[in-house]
Structure 1
Amino acid sequence: MTKKSFLANPSNKQAFINLLAEQMTKADKAVEHAKGDADYKICMSACLHAKEKPTAVVAEDSDVFQLLTHHANIADKDFIMVTSKQTVCVTTLAKKLDPLLSGALLFLHAFSGCDTTSRPYGIGKVSVLKKYAELERCSSIFMSPSSSKAEIERAGEDALLIIYGCTTSLSLDSARVDKFQQKVGTATQYVSPEKLPPTSDAAIFHSHRAYHQVQAWCGNDLPAEEWGWTTSPSGLYPVKMSQPSAPDRLLKIMR
């Protein structure tokens, strides 16, 4: 079978991890199993080693890169990340980055889409990073372990309004109407709904999942079921919205 099919089976995947760990231990290599977020475990282990000696993290995952950049200490010894295409000195990058951007990286990465969170349609990572100063207040709420759900939901909606360039709108729902009217007034063809900002309802669950991921990257484990996820037989499944996609009277005539 293909590698993808083989690793899609959780039992196969765990057995393969156990086999690798066993062989590496026999070769006198230190092995640690991550019970939670593996990316966070890799990052914190690397940061611990970097305090004492030159350290290289070999990975292709952008999540690992963001975590290393955020958590790296500028006093660390030579600390690098190696990918198949390039080698980056994390220590040098941490020294040169604006502290405001460095402190907001985890929020910006999770909120604009990562392994466990959705990516807002048509919004690129670079465009979000460029708005880090405008998103400072929202970032501070998502980075705080003591923020309430109400604060997170409001900050998440404000962040999406900034990201979509709808700062004059009071809510995402009103921003959707404004954007739709603008596009219909100038479009020569069908206006795709996905090009509009998300609804306020959908934004709540996106914000919950982003906060859950940011806190996990900060070492604060929260119950996923309380933060935008529901349990299914195959594992966790994201809650997309609590309201119907359209009024009942409209859904009855649509085919």
Structure 2
Amino acid sequence: MFEWDLGAIIRPGRAKAGEADSEGPRFALIMLNQPVKNMAVLHELWKGSCLRVAADGGANRLYELSQSTEPNTFDSLDVIIGDLDSLTPEARTHFESRGASVIHDPDQESTDFGKAIAHIRAASGPGPIDIAAVGGLGGRVDQGLSQLHHLYLFQPGAAYERGRIYLVSEESVTVQLKPGRHSIRVRRRGAGPEEDVFGKYVGIVPVGEPSVISTRGLEWDVEDWATAFGGRMSTSNHVLPETECVEVETSRDVLFTISLK
């Protein structure tokens, strides 16, 4: 059984500004080159992360925020990495002056997202480290598909041996479920409304290949249900009000996505 607590990395009040939460999961943060509108989630991810990396133009997004409504909040950026074709001189100067390293990787066979993942894993040593990527699934369709591709590409093996990757967009969190049984915590017993970070909408999408899934805790649960592109697909499902953990059993890799409040 794989266990997930998706809210652990974005639950409000986990850490003080600029400090990683020693009681929370160890994870690194990647800022992608997409506009950020859900500032509450970005703040919590920033506070809780142990390493903060901008993928090329992702630094521009942080710089724009630091020059407008969020002065000094994101100055603790650790690394900017990529082919640097999008990084502006202003953003580079700003973050370099505050201690960030700028790494130029001109390899055109890899994306800036992939370079950021590789850097985090190299810098973090041989053990697994989870990664939250902010800005996933926004903007152009080809970029969104590329980000989903990275969930498959950078989580090889059967058991997340290098760590788990979370795509965090303005409206949802998306993860890759490996073949097997998964228990995905979406609420905590006794938690107040202000601690609930997820909405009710859930999707289970077989991107790589057809799968057979069974679910528990959703409004429209299924049992041994074949799902594929061009066939049946579970989207816009609902978490039941009493559900604390959604259970999913899948025969092949699928994407699980849940909406944010």
Superposition TM-score, scaled by structure 1 size: 0.31
The structure whose residues are more often strand, as a share, is: 2
Greater helix share, structure number: 1
State which structure, 1 or 2, has the greater radius of gyration over its C-alpha atoms. 1
Query: TM-score, structure 2 length as denominator?
Result: 0.30
